[in-house]
């Protein structure tokens, strides 16, 4: 079965689990810096890691919203959406 994605709701993406998943991935990538041998652990350093994760999450979500706006605009102009072929396995 072929399915075509013609419009993606921005509100659905923003109010789903997607932002939380992005934040967790950014937080994990920030905490991987703790294994750097030159790191001196302090409360300021840990807070900067969390703030950098929040900043990266916001930047990623803003870029995702711009991508979705462009995708929806192109689909509204008549360009075909993404087609996905689904197969039933029995």
Average pLDDT over residues 54-77: 94
Instruction: Judge whether residue 67 has pLDDT over 80.
Output: yes
- Is residue 26 packed enough to be buried (19+ CB in 10 Å), middle (13-18) or exposed (0-12)? buried
Residue 27, pLDDT score: 92
- Quick one: what percent of the chain has pLDDT higher than 70? 100
Query: Rounded distance, CA 90 to CA 76, Å?
Result: 37
50-60 pLDDT, tens digit each: 999 999 999 99
5-20 pLDDT, tens digit each: 888 899 999 999 999 9
């Amino acid at each position: 079965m072929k399915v075509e994605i013609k419009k993606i709701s921005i509100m659905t993406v923003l109010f789903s689990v997607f932002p939380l998943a992005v934040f967790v991935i950014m937080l994990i990538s920030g905490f991987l810096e703790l294994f750097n041998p030159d790191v001196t652990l302090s409360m300021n350093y840990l807070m900067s890691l969390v703030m950098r994760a929040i900043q990266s999450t916001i930047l990623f979500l803003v870029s995702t919203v711009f991508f979705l706006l462009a995708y929806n605009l192109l689909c509204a102009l008549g360009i075909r959406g993404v087609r996905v072929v689904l197969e039933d396995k029995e």
